[in-house]
Chain A
Amino acid sequence: MTILLDKNSRLLIQGITGHEGLFHTGQMVAYGTNVVAGVTPGKGGEWVLDGKVPVFDTVKTAVDTTGANTSVIFVPARFAPDAMLEAADAGMPLIICITEGIPVQDMMRVCAYLDQKKVRLIGPNCPGLLTPGEAKAGIIPNNISIAGDVGIVSRSGTLTYEVLYALKLRGLGASTCVGIGGDPVNGTNFIDVLELFEADPHTDRVVLIGEIGGTDEEKAAEFIARHMTKPVTAFIAGQAAPPGKRMGHAGAIIEGGAGTAKDKITALQAAGVRVARHPEEIPDLLA
C-alpha cells in the first residue's frame, strides 16, 4: 500500500445524497474506488448511483453492515462537527472532511475528542486523498494525475491540482496526494504526512505545498532537517502578500514567528528543501 488510501480501502460517504456528495461519490466510483456505503439521516434503505451504493441512517449501522473503514464527509459546515464525532464513535479509523467553513472552536473540540479516540482526521476544508491508479477519497479531479513516486502534501485545494497537473504534463506521477486542508485547526499536519512518506517504500521524493499563515511550514522544515532522508521540494503561496497590520497582541505573544512566505521559504531552504518560485517550476526542481 502507499499511504492512507489504496484499492482495498472501504469508503463510506457522509452526506452522500447531497448535491456535492452525490456528484463526487460518482466520481470516486468512476475512478475505481471501493465505495461501500453512504449515510444520510432519514434516507436509510435507499440506494444511489443506479443501485451501486446503499444509504444508511447512521454511521454505526453502515459500519456494522459494510465494514467501511474510511469516511469522507460532505455535510454542510454547521453539521460537519457532529458528522466527524459520529464517525469517530462508530470506530472509523480514518476520517476525511471535505467541508469548508467550520467554526474554529468546533474544530478544537472535535480534534480534542478524536485525539482521545486515536482517530486520524484529514482536513477539514481539504480536497482529500488520491492514490493515482488505485483510489480517491475526496474531490481531486480524476484525470489530472498519474501514478508515480512523488508524495504530495498540501494545505491548498485547486493549487494542488495545478501541481499534480504540472507533474503529469512532464510525465511525473504521485504515490499519494494528501490535501491536509487550509483551516487554522485541522486534523493531520505536514509532519504527520512527511513521517508517513519517509516510511513509504513507494515514495522516493516529496512535494510540500504551503501557504502564508501559521508556522506549520517552519515546523515541517525542522522535521525535514532532522528526520527526512528523501528529497523535498516545496512551494509557498502568498509571496506577493506582504504582512499588514496586527490586531491585538495575543498572536504575536503566542507564536513569535510571523508566518510570512519569506520566513517559511528561508526555513525550508535552510533545511535543504528546494523551493519553487511558482507551481509550474516544481517539475524542474524534481527532475
Chain B
Amino acid sequence: MSAYFVDVGSGVEYRLSAPKEWGYLMKLHEYQSKQVFAKYGIPIPRGRVASTADEARHIAEELGGRVVIKSQVLVGGRGKAGGIRLARTPKEAGELATQVLAMEIKGLPVRKILIDEAVGITKEIYLGITNDRGARRPVMMASSAGGVDIEEVAANTPEKIIKLHIDPLLGLRDYQARDLAVSIDMPREFWRSFGEIAAGLWRVYKENDADLVEINPLVITSDNRLVALDGKMVVDDNAIFRHAEINEMRDLGAEDALEVEARKYGLSYINLDGNVGCMVNGAGLAMATMDIIKLSGGEPANFLDIGGGASSEKVAAALRIILADPKVKAVLFNIFGGITRCDEVARGVLTAIHEVKPKVPMVARLVGTNAEEGLRLLANANMITAETLVDAAQKAVAIAKGA
C-alpha cells in the first residue's frame, strides 16, 4: 500500500526509479489543486490550462497583459529548472509556451502548461497542512519567509516556520488561524482574509482526504490582496473511494503503463532498473527480498506485492506484468503463506506460464500455508526451488548475471 513507498510525513518519496510517476498516491497538478482551492473560496490568479502554444497565446490575449507560463509536471523545482516563465505579450507567451512544452523536467515531459495572469508581489508567505504522523494529528504550518527557498528556511532558521497542531475531532478553530497570522507578522488588514484562506485550506484538506495541501507562495499583491499563486495537493489513495471527482483528475497518461495495469488488479507494483523480477506477498517482505537481492550482488527489476490472500487470477496477472518488462532476466517468487495459500499462488503462476510461455528462468521459494502442494505443482513447471531467502536470492541473481 501507499504507506510503504510514499511517506508524506517525512516528505520523502521512496520511488526506486525516479523520476517516474507515482502509482500509489493521488497527486494533483498545480492547476487541478488551484481549481479545488477556488471552490473553497481561496483566491487564485485568473488563468487556464493549455497543451499547445496556440492555446497559450489565446489565453494570454484573453487575460490581457503579462502572464506566467507554468509547466504542469508532478515534481518540485520547476522554477529552478526553467519551467516557469514570465511573458509580457501574447506573442511572447506563445513562444515561451513552445519552449516549455518541449521541456523535460527531472525526466518528466511537460504535456500541459498553466497560463496565469501575472500579479505584482510585495510579500511571499508559506501556508500548508499535512499529517504529522508522529503526533497523529494534522499540522498547519505558516511562514513569512515563503517562496522557493522554504526548505532552506526550515533547515537553517526553523523558528521562522510556525507549526500548529489541529485537533482532528475539532478541526481548525478561528483563534488558531489568528494565532498564525499574528505569529508570522501578517499586517492586521489581512487577518480576515488570511483567516478565510486558512479555514478554506483546512476544508480542502479534510473534505478531500488530502495527505498534503500547500500554498507556496501565498502572496500579498501590490494591490493589497492575498492570492494563492501556487497550489499542491496530494490525496490519500485509501480514501479515493469517496472522492470520485478527485479520482477523475488522475493523470494516467503520466504514469507507468505497467503500474497502471497492476493497480487494476489491486497489485502494488513499481518498475525499477534491475533485472531480477520479484513476486512477493507483503510490502515489508517484498522490500526485504529486494534488500537481499542487492546484498547478493544483483538488482531488483521491480517491487511487487501481491497482497494478502491473492487469488490465482491475481497472481497470473502479476506474473504477466513482471514478464512484460524486457529487462527481466530471472524471476524470483518469495511467498510466505499465511492468508495467502501457496498452492493458489502456484496455480496462478502455471496459468501465466501457460499463456506467456516465458523464456526466463524462475526461482521459487514457498513457505507456510500449503507450501508442499505449491512446490509440487511448480516442480512440473521446471522451476528452480530454494529453501531459504538467501538461497533463493543468490540463485536468481546468478541466473540473471549469466543470462
Residues of A at the B interface (CB closer than 8 Å) are: 20, 23-24, 77-78, 100-109, 111-113, 125, 127, 139-141, 144, 154-162, 165, 182-185, 209, 211-216, 219, 235, 237-260, 277-280
Contact = CB atoms under 8 A, between A and B. Distances in A.
B94 interface: no
A248 B232 contact: yes
A246 B284 contact: no
Nearest to A209: B284
Nearest to A251: B11
Interface of B: 1, 3-16, 18-19, 25, 27, 74-76, 106, 126, 128-134, 136-139, 141, 150-151, 154-155, 158, 161, 163, 167-169, 206, 209, 211-212, 214, 216, 232, 234, 236, 238-239, 241-242, 280-285, 287-288, 290-295, 300, 303, 308-309, 336-339, 367-369, 388-390
Contact of A240 (B133, B161, B293): B293
B295 A215 contact: no
A257 B10 contact: yes
A20 B309 contact: yes
B151 A253 contact: yes
A245 B368 contact: no
Contact of B167 (A112, A139, A235, A277): A112
Given A248-B76, A278-B291, A278-B390, A254 B139 contact: yes
A252 B12 CA distance: 8
Contacts of B369: 141
Most B CB contacts (10 A, CB to CB) among A105, A165, A219 go to: A105
Nearest to B339: A139
B7 A235 contact: no
B137 A108 contact: yes
Nearest to A279: B288
B7 A104 contact: no
14 contacts: A139-B308, A156-B284, A162-B367, A185-B131, A212-B4, A237-B291, A240-B290, A241-B14, A248-B8, A248-B212, A251-B10, A255-B9, A259-B12, A280-B388
Given A215-B10, A247-B212, A159 B128 contact: no
Given A103-B239, A247-B212, A249-B150, A278 B389 contact: yes
Contacts of A184: 3, 7-9, 131, 133
A74 B139 CA distance: 30
A185 to B, nearest CB: 5
A107 to B, nearest CB: 8
Contacts of A279: 288, 389
A241 B302 CA distance: 11
Nearest to A127: B338
B7 A250 contact: no
Q: Which 10 A-B pairs have the closest CB atoms?
A: A251-B11, A156-B284, A158-B282, A244-B18, A159-B284, A103-B239, A213-B7, A250-B130, A237-B287, A244-B15
A104 B284 contact: no
B76 A253 contact: no
A86 B206 CA distance: 23
B336 A247 contact: no
